[in-house]
A and B are shown apart, each in its own frame.
Chain A
Amino acid sequence: MFLPESMSRIMVVGTKNRMDDAINAFYGEKVIHVIDHTTGDDGLSIGTSNSDVSKASERLLKIRALEKELGIKKRTLTEDIAVEDVRERISAGDVEIVEKEILSVVDTRNGLTQLISELNAKKETLELLSKLPLTLDFYSGYRSISVLVGSVTADPASLNLDAEIFASYDKKNGGVVAVFFRTDSRDAVSAALSEIGFTELQVPSCEAVSPADEIAKIDAQVAKAVEDIDAAEVQLLELKQKHRSFLKGTDEELAIQVEKGSVPLRLAVSKYSYVMDAWVPTSKVETVKQHLEEKLGDDVHIEVMEERSRSIEESEAQEPRFQTVPTKTTNGRVASEFEYATSLVSRPKYQEVDPTVFIMIFLPIFFGFMVGDLGYAIPFIVLGGYGLNKTKNKDWRAIALVLFLGGIWAALFGLFFYGEMLGMHFVGGHLEGGEWIWYHDNVAVGGTAVTWDWLLGEQFPEWFCNLIGHVNPEGTHTGVGKLEDVAFLLKLSVYIGLCHLFIGHMCGLYNKKIQHGFKHAFIEKGGVIMSFFGIIFLCFGLTDFMFNKADITEGLAFYTLVIGIVLLAVGTAINMKAEGALQAILGLPEHIGQILSYTRLAAIGMSKAGMALAFNYIVFSMVMSTSGTGVMQGAEEVIAFDPFAAPAMLILGIIMFCFLHLVIWTLAILSAGIHSLRLQFVELMMRFFEGGGVEYRPLNEARSKTFFKNKISNINEV
């Protein structure tokens, strides 16, 4: 659970003429992580890819282009298709037939789109020309006269030319001008026109029709083309329906074929044989060996080269390409969802503890402790549950799971520990001699704390009050106050931190023990752990002396101080040997920093409770109406909550209440989420985690759209 799975290195040697079968068999095992061959002086060379690969990748490109044309995306739902059918259709040339069918429609559609844009450009020109009182045949067909037609930006009335000018101009939209002039005066005309911002237009037709008639004709053509495009789109949609399953299935099958065909590039080959080095989980070695021998008979020889220990020295003694062992984590279903959080820092090495399980345990607890409110917890649980149900993306699943589990912890803490919902304690007073006494900070007696029993005008039953935790031994069942019992919460946070850090230090010790042996581990980590405990005892003694005015020369304070100083001295001495004097001494205050860092658990809870207190006071005691006539018995200042006295204020109050609590809830995701993650990443994982592991990627056919019709012909059989 804590260490990555133990791996063994195998070497597979086989005859080259059955390499394809062998690769299929390797894929069938699903546990073989190939070690890439690098050319050395062993007389072997890197293999060449399978001859079918180039054809398959060419087809794959075609298929992906077609999928793009038809808008078939990764998430498009399609029916699964049998591998046998796909293969049969590929070899029958169906890819090319489907391509032809789809591309002919696509080409038609593209041609029509181009036609429409051309027609629209023509229409724009004609719209300009329609402002002039000429039919289109007037613009050409002269021997000694030239015509310039175009748009202008300034008024053409200023033109003073020896020419016939037709113009239309308005200040807002510019104008159009047609100038008929003797061919030999072209230069003068061009110069004059350029001064009024002239841009020449090509007159499209030379028939004796007016531009307006021509526009009508073009409109009809555009309408027809649009109709044709719609028809082509419908046709494409039909083709998508018809071929999507085949296209996605073929995409998957060809991708697998290409991947399989490229495997020889990772192997070593000689003239007649191939050699493959691979990592296999130790527990699977015998099965793999047996399976491969069954499938390939005498054409294969498998040798188990080693079972790799966790010792760093042993790894470093190996050839470079065998030094790094892939990390196959051994987390269960729930824990593996948290691997995403670990991977945000790095992948664990083969030789170290995988922190995922600790993250799984502590991340939601810290989140819940910081939120600690039943009212906020329920939306977290609902949101998390919904996310887990809906999303398949592993990043979102990890976030949803944290929200879900964190929400459950928040509900538990909210109900049983803090006794709080939406920033309000359930209980705001207690019975004393049969009489109900409000606590002094309750809004009923002029305080600021709104409580649910005051709001509802009902006292909660005793059994319910007894469920809620309390700090004071006298037994006031309001729950632990985030703002009232600050000292207690701070102390609790520090104690939680001590446990958390202790786990981190112990993992560090364990890592070093498996990597280098106990002696090395003791020198490297033992000193740190001793000084960690030394600091704890020392601080305990000192705080007892400072805050509780305990006598430092006798009793508990004295003993803890002495133990602390001794541990600190021994720890620092060991550390000096491991890291040098400067590092050892500089490392001491770091322990205090790490421990105090956990006070954020209480501090963030406090900040949220503070905001909620203020918001609730505004909503219930300032916006919504209260009446002075008490319905509850008790102290003189009792006021009862009467929301119906002013309905408008009631509605305003409810809106404000929802909005303000939504603000706190959103902040809770950010602050509680980020800080609980930080405590794992920085405080816990930095005590032992190095990371930098290599991902375990066994040869495996990832099929989601295709399936084997016949179990006998599946990949386990060659």
Chain B
Amino acid sequence: MDPSQAGLVAIGAGLAVGLAGIGAGLGEKDIGAAAVGAITEDGSLFGKGMIFTVMPETIVIFGLVIAIMALFVL
């Protein structure tokens, strides 16, 4: 692969993970704040709070998979 092409692939991979991370972070921000509030009120809600908080995280994994595919498969 041409070095400039390889560079573009690397940039694309970085963007895939980075943008997905930002998106997930934005999603988790509000849920996390609400979950912490709820846990302060009632500690037994930790598990449920955690489940809801990590829901958007899967998006990062998608980003990561795309990045790895870009780096190793393309």
Chain A residues at the B interface, C-beta cutoff of 8 Å: 343-346, 486-487, 490, 546-547, 593, 596-597, 599-600, 603, 674, 677-678, 681-682, 686
Contact = CB atoms under 8 A, between A and B. Distances in A.
Contacts of B50: 344, 674, 677-678, 681
Given A490-B68, A547-B73, A682-B54, A596 B61 contact: yes
B51 A599 contact: no
A348 to B, nearest CB: 13
21 contacts: A343-B44, A344-B44, A344-B46, A344-B47, A345-B47, A345-B51, A346-B48, A486-B72, A487-B68, A490-B65, A596-B62, A597-B58, A600-B61, A603-B61, A603-B64, A674-B54, A678-B50, A678-B51, A681-B47, A681-B50, A681-B51
A487 B54 CA distance: 25
Contact of B64 (A346, A487, A599, A678): A599
**Chain A interface main SS type:** helix
Interface in B32-74: 44, 46-48, 50-51, 54-55, 57-58, 61-62, 64-65, 68, 72-73
A682 B44 CA distance: 17
A346 B44 CA distance: 8
Given A547-B73, A681-B51, A596 B58 contact: yes
B26 to A, nearest CB: 18
A453 B58 CA distance: 39
Contacts, number: 47
Contacts of B55: 682
A170 to B, nearest CB: 51
Contacts of A487: 68, 72
A345 B48 contact: yes
A486 B47 contact: no
* 7 nearest CB pairs, A to B: A344-B47, A345-B47, A678-B54, A344-B46, A593-B58, A597-B58, A681-B51
A597 B51 contact: no
Interface string B10-47: 00000000000000000000000000000000001011
Contacts of A344: 44, 46-47, 50
Contacts of B48: 345-346
Given A486-B68, A678-B50, 5 more contacts: A546-B73, A596-B58, A597-B58, A603-B61, A682-B55
A677 B47 CA distance: 10
Which of B58, B72, B73 has most A Cβ within 10 Å?
A: B58
B33 to A, nearest CB: 17
Contacts of B64: 599, 603
A596 B51 CA distance: 17
B36 to A, nearest CB: 15
B51 A682 contact: yes
A338 to B, nearest CB: 13
Contacts of B58: 593, 596-597
B18 to A, nearest CB: 14
Contacts of A599: 61, 64-65
B24 to A, nearest CB: 12
A490 to B, nearest CB: 6
Nearest to B59: A593
B73 A597 contact: no
A596 B65 contact: yes
A677 B50 CA distance: 10
A546 to B, nearest CB: 8
A600 B72 CA distance: 17
Contacts of A343: 44, 47
A94 B50 CA distance: 51
Given A486-B72, A490-B68, A597 B61 contact: yes
A670 to B, nearest CB: 13
A345 B45 CA distance: 7
A449 B73 CA distance: 23
Given A547-B73, A682-B54, A346 B47 contact: yes
A513 to B, nearest CB: 25
Contacts of B68: 486-487, 490
Nearest to A344: B47
A129 B48 CA distance: 66
A316 to B, nearest CB: 25
A677 B57 CA distance: 14
Nearest to B46: A344
A275 to B, nearest CB: 33
A120 B47 CA distance: 54
Contacts of B72: 486-487
Residue with the greatest number of chain A CB neighbours at <10 A, chosen from B46, B48, B54, B57: B54
Contacts of A593: 58, 62
A593 B65 CA distance: 11
A675 B37 CA distance: 22
Contacts of A597: 58, 61
B67 to A, nearest CB: 10
A549 to B, nearest CB: 11
Nearest to B73: A547
B5 to A, nearest CB: 19
Contacts of A674: 50, 54
A343 B58 CA distance: 24
A597 B64 CA distance: 10
